Amino acid sequence: MYEKTLTQLAAALKSGEFSSRELTAHYLQRIEQADGKLNSFISVTAEQALKQAEVAERPSGRQRRAAVRHSPSAQRYFLHPGRETSCGSKMLDNFIAPYNATVVEKLNAAGTISLGKTNMDEFAMGSSNENSYYGPVKNPWDLTAVPGGSSGGSAAAVAAGLVPAAMGTDTGGSIRQPAAFCGITGLKPTYGRVSRFGIIAYASSLDQAGPMARSAEDCAHLLGVIAGHDGRDSTSVARGVPDYVEGLNAPLSGLKIGLPKEYFGDGLDPDVEKAVREAVKVYESLGATVREVSLPHTHYAIPAYYVIAPAEASSNLSRYDGVRFGHRCDNPSDLIDLYTRSRAEGFGEEVKRRILIGTHTLSEGFFDAYYTKAQQVRRLIRQDFLDAFEDVDVLMGPASPTPAFDLGAKKDPVSMYLQDIYTIAVNLAGIPGISVPAGLAGGRPVGLQILGTHFAEAQLLNVAHQFQQATDWHLQRPAFAEEYA
Ligand code: GLN
């Protein structure tokens, strides 16, 4: 069963090949057998999942979302009442969410079944999943490699066939980069397309939730469920949700593809470049035209991001004070001791680094020099994309400069930050992006990143789907997945 995509599973469920309970039990068994080696789940909620499957099997008049109904999935750190939602942090170890995130509510209403919470970098800060309080996740393509981050658990679980689809969030690349490293498809929607209500905040002006699955078609089904306006998130956009599945089969003839020259420069692994250029050739054979474009401010994306994201994070994380929720130190001598020791004990090293940077750049005297300047640069980066989309329909390039690197290989924070060189500007601009499997480099997957203008998700999914009709990279599985029944 696990080798099927979400769309194929839906057909099999419909034809009665197996039941929702059998399917759920199958995945739970795979998690039990394989996850000891991967560490892709922080918590597995088997009992609740089987109960949900039973409910999903009851005849219901409204089977609109047939493709996702009965389908198991896993969420990262979306609040889910009664379920542990730790966000990869000791600070929230054993924290039980009091209410539903809108994304969870929508997935529940569509009849999907939640198997548990996937592992992730602490508070979504990282590019390798090595910053998790619960230990690193292994890449199922090679257990000595990282799965990418911060949605590394979601990506590894989907690639290993422990779950057919999972949710991630992407603040600077955390859906696309792990999707690329694990050979799956991951979509970061336009900022505002999906409600952030009930998603633990990292950098509020950049965070966006999206689907991670085997195929663009699966992502189209899931995005249709989770997208839409939500009165509880004032940044979610009141705009109709198109039928993303219906839009998948538009022909690509005449599609204008831009290749940003800044995405093919120094630091790009030659094997990754080769795979991406091969993929672009496939598009040419499908009738697309290709030209080089420029995004001149690309170089400033990482510095601007590492001012804005830590600034927002330092503010968002100030709520963890040991008083209202989260970790509390033992025997505080007074209130200040309670705050400082609870935070010192509860947060990991990378989170503390970001809080320090963010607090510094927001402080009087530095605010204009850093924060205001970074916001000005952000505007220029956004304008680069808007200018490029005057001339071309989509942009293509690598999702990441290298394939998955070895666990423990990146010791200094800056080399880790550089991992997101091709993904981070997209969040600063608020546009959507998708990573699709496009080959292997040294046995490790390569992701092709496709970018579109604001609210171009339907087009991106169509462009990705057509590639997946012409190639089978997205259907390839690591040998690890085949080791379990
Ligand atoms: N790697 C980036 C960071 O550490 C992006 C993470 C993300 O998208 N959540 O902030």
Flag the least confident range among 40-44, 70-74, 204-208, 465-469. 70-74
Ligand 1 centre distance from Cα of residue 39 (Å): 20
DSSP, residue by residue, 57-83: HS--S--TTTTTTT-EEEESSB--TTS
Q: Which atom of ligand 1 is nearest to the CA of 416?
A: 1
Taking the C-alpha atoms of residue 421 and residue 268, their distance in angstroms, rounded to an integer, is 10
Question: What proportion of the chain, given as a percentage, has pLDDT over 70?
Answer: 95
**Residue 354 and residue 314 in contact, taking contact as beta carbons nearer than 8 Å:** yes
Range 120-124 average pLDDT: 95
CATH of 6-257+390-482, one of 3.90.1300.10, 1.10.10.10, 3.40.109.10, 3.60.20.10: 3.90.1300.10
Range 294-313 average pLDDT: 97
**Residue 168 and residue 210 in contact, taking contact as beta carbons nearer than 8 Å:** yes
**Residue 157 clears pLDDT 90, i.e. is over it:** yes
Mutate to test the pocket of ligand 1, among 123, 316, 420 (most ligand atoms within 8 A of CB): 420
Q: Which atom of ligand 1 is nearest to the CA of 175?
A: 8
Ligand 1 centre distance from Cα of residue 126 (Å): 5
Range 44-55 average pLDDT: 88
Q: Please compute Rg for the chain using Cα positions.
A: 21
The crossing angle, in degrees rounded to 10, of helices 102-109 and 216-226 is 110
Taking the C-alpha atoms of residue 210 and residue 1, their distance in angstroms, rounded to an integer, is 24
Provide φ and ψ at 80, rounded to 5°: -150, 105
Angle ∠(401,402,408) on CA atoms, nearest 5: 125
Q: What is the pLDDT of residue 66?
A: 47
Taking the C-alpha atoms of residue 382 and residue 322, their distance in angstroms, rounded to an integer, is 38
pLDDT (tens digit per residue) in 190-242 = 999 999 999 999 999 999 999 999 999 999 999 999 999 999 999 999 999 99
Distances (CA, A) of 229 to 197, 346, 464: 11, 34, 25
Sequence-distant (≥ 6) Cβ neighbours of residue 88 within 8 angstroms:
42, 77, 119, 120, 121, 122, 123, 124, 131, 132, 133, 134, 150
CA 139 vs. chain centroid, Å, equals: 15
Taking the C-alpha atoms of residue 217 and residue 239, their distance in angstroms, rounded to an integer, is 22
With a 6 Å cutoff on the Cβ, whether 312 touches ligand 1 is no
Beta-carbon neighbour count of residue 276 at 10 Å? 23
**Residue 63 clears pLDDT 60, i.e. is over it:** no
Range 49-70 average pLDDT: 66
Q: pTM, whole model, 2 decimals?
A: 0.96
